[in-house]
Amino acid sequence: MVFQNTYRGFLYRQLFTTPPPITSSTVSLAGQTGIVTGSNTGLGYHASSQLLSLGLPRLILAVRDPTKGEKARSSLLAILKESSQGSGKSQPQVEVWPVDLTNYTSIIEFANRVRDTPNLHVNFIILNAGVARFGFEPSPNGNEITIQTNWLATALMAITLRPILQAQYIQAMRTATNGHTPQPPVLSIVGSEVAQWAVFKERKIAASDPHTSVLGVLNDPKNFNPGDRYYTSKLLLTLFFREFVDRLPSAKNDVVVNLVNPGLCYGSELHRSITGPLGAVFGGMKRAIGRSTEVGARTLVHGAVVAGKETHGCYLSDEKVAPWMDFVITAKGEQAAHEIWKELSEELRGVINIDGVMEQTGV
């Protein structure tokens, strides 16, 4: 096991490594448009604030609750106005678009809106939205909500938005003038190093019963382990990511896809379901070793607008390419990724044809 993947490595990074801020001398966002999911609070909110401070002229806040999204929009613009007083800069265009990750129809409608909005060319998307529940909670479609949000819905967002980014990029290349060549679009997915620590007993249970699946086991309340469910959801997302990248039409894909680990951060609402004495203890632990959401958000901004083509298919931590979790690069991990992809295809069968969408090249 590499040091990066040990508990000591985790604590070392949390206590002694601080991802540097992204500055306007590092990157220019002039003329660009970005989308950030889960952007009304926590990491998504702070990443949005940093992107706007870097001069991003158009930002789409993709949120479940439009009211909270509008509140975040007003706050972001107020902060930007205060910080840029006297600079003569014009206010950016910040929009609130609803998307409910517990509803597949809402995700498809969101993707269609990105595709069909006139004169929209999205340069990057940060898929940040996620939840952590310490009690079993089914989503409206029946899937346990942590698995639904962190794995299934995020996967559907990535699969449907990638060919749209590709098509918009091809169109931008065709219409580019004065020797200006657009940068390849980026689809940056927020993962987590906790995938390393997942027990993932559900796969073993499913393997012992030919009449069930990993998702079926995850959706059974008797198998819910509050200490492992979030870890497992991030492992499933990581397994999906690796299979997703492997299945991209490599000869006709310009979209840079990467997976970003922001580290453990305090100040977000990710663990808001932990209440009482346990919540107080956990909150104290996050304060002791956690990063602020402002610092953690730097890694999201880096992955989306700085990292570049060389990070395609990579896992990033502390703004650097990092080694994969031990399990995912083993033969068993690769087999698990194939199995998870098959289950995902089955789950989304009535929503999209995954293989058909994956073959889309935007031409």
Known active-site residue 71? no
Q: How far apart are CA 128 and CA 201, in angstroms?
A: 26
- Single-letter residue type at 104: Y
Catalytic residue from among 39, 53, 192, 233: 192
Known active-site residue 266? no
- DSSP assigned state of 114: H
Question: Between the CA of residue 335 and those of 125, 199, 327, 339, what are the distances in Å?
Answer: 29, 16, 11, 6
Which H/E stretch holds residue 109?
A: helix 104-116
CA 69 to chain centre: 18
Catalytic residue from among 230, 231, 266, 315: 230
Catalytic residue from among 39, 169, 234, 317: 234
**The token pair that represents 289 in the structure block:** 């070793």
Query: Helix axis angle, 276-289 relative to 7-16, nearest 10°?
Result: 70
Contact 13, 263 (CB under 8 A): yes
Overall size of the chain counted in residues: 363
Closest CA to 9 of 232, 221, 194: 194
Q: How far apart are CA 313 and CA 222, in angstroms?
A: 35
Known active-site residue 49? no
- Single-letter residue type at 38: G
Q: Please enumerate in sequence order all residues whose Cβ is within 8 A of that of 195, keeping only pairs 6 or more positions apart, or say none.
A: 231, 234, 235, 237, 238, 325, 328
Q: Computed from CA positions of residues 161, 167, 170, 172, in that sequence, does the dihedral angle turn out positive or negative? A: negative
Residues serving a catalytic function are 192, 230, 234
